Amino acid sequence: MRLLRRFYLKEFLVAFAVVVLGLSAMLASFDLINQMDRLRSAGLYGFLKYIMLVMPQYIVYTMPMAVLFASLFTVGHAVRNRETVAVMSAGGRMRALFLPLAAAGAVLALASFGLSQFVAPAATRQAKAMTRGDGKALFKEGTVWVRAEDGSLVRFSLYSKEAESASRVDIFQFSDGMLAKRINAGGAKYRDGRWVLSNVTVYDLLHPSFSRSAQMTLSGFIDPKFLDKQVLTSDEMGITELYRYTRRLRQAGIRSIKLDVDVQSRFAYPVVNFFMVLFATAVSLRRGMTGLAAASLGVAVSLFYWLIYTFSLSLGYSGLLPPFAAAWAVPLVFAAFSMWLFIRVRD
């Protein structure tokens, strides 16, 4: 039985690797085609570099489908060859026979979490930097450093892309290479094509003096569309940076429902890799499947799960569901159903 376990585990891992790498490479190639105009000058090396940078994110996306297909293929193959009948005749138990696959699913769930937190964000950030090509800025946990159209250096201490506002803004204006003026504002809001600063203090460093005003309006300052491109998306931030950013927004009284949902989904999405193994094992043991049937069922279940999970997240983004419920409801229901099926497997 030990040899069979090793054989099934090897077969599972090989099938998983083939599917996950094949699907992610295909999706990365489609992504490259969409960005071809912006990467035209990068050459062959740039194309390959872009594919390698976006691959980690697509691996995270496609892992549940690959786990499901590999499990269906491995267990279904054992059932069709009557290997499970032989094991049961010798007194073996089905759940124990395929326990290594469940353990592999748990390891892959942890690997998916680690990949989505520590590898994919940094790689996605570099990939998007290759396609921006419209100026540079520094973004960290909501703080944005950017060069304004008049040459000023601007720091948005906490910028919200959704609200097009910031809780604090510092503007550094230069003259002949020297810092000439500093403008501190308690807040900023983009309205009707202009930036409106509130609680403003202006320091004139060339003629030492300062002045205060309740409001200041700036035109031709920074285009919010450019600024929005510099703000990292949730896919470009690790869980620590994403959590700190959302916490800073809450402390400033700015609510970003989408980011709150994304924080929860970072933990919820990898979990399904483990339960995909349980689901596939239980289904396959009930009825052996051919390779085509396993592939068809794998695609159908994966697409169905992805559709309802995306729909649940969209309800969370719109505020119709709390962030925790939007991210966890579908995975928990699927987990409970998979456990129920697996427990009911006849030993």
Region 288-304: mean pLDDT is: 72
133: its two tokens: 């090509």
pLDDT of residue 85: 72
Q: What's the predicted TM-score (pTM) here?
A: 0.82
**Cβ-proximal residues to 263 (8 Å cutoff; 6+ apart), any chain:** 234, 239, 242, 243, 246, 323
Return the HEC string of 23-58. HHHHHHHHHHHHCCCCCHHHHHHHHHHHHHHHHHHH
What is the residue extent of each domain of the chain?
2-133+259-343, 143-230
pLDDT of residue 95: 81
Query: Which strand (E) or helix (H) includes residue 218?
Result: strand 209-218
The answer, yes or no, to whether residue 47 has pLDDT greater than 60, is yes
Asked if 121 contacts 236 with a C-beta cutoff of 8 angstroms, the reply is yes
CATH topology of domain 143-230: SH3 type barrels. (2.30.30)
Region 21-38: mean pLDDT is: 93
Per-residue pLDDT tens digits for 316-329? 999 999 999 999 99
Q: What's the whole-number average pLDDT of the chain?
A: 88
Distance between CA 128 and CA 234 in Å, rounded?
A: 13
Q: Which of 2-6, 254-258, 328-332 has the lowest mean pLDDT?
A: 254-258
**In this prediction, what percent of the chain has a pLDDT beyond 90?**
50
Q: Which of 107-116, 228-237, 255-264 has the lowest mean pLDDT?
A: 228-237
The answer, yes or no, to whether residue 193 has pLDDT greater than 80, is yes
Residue type for position 46: G
Per-residue pLDDT tens digits for 64-84? 999 999 998 898 888 888 787
Q: Which burial class, exposed, middle or buried, applies to 126 when counting CB atoms under 10 A from its CB (0-12, 13-18, 19+)?
A: middle
Region 23-50: mean pLDDT is: 90
Per-residue pLDDT tens digits for 125-142? 889 888 875 555 577 778
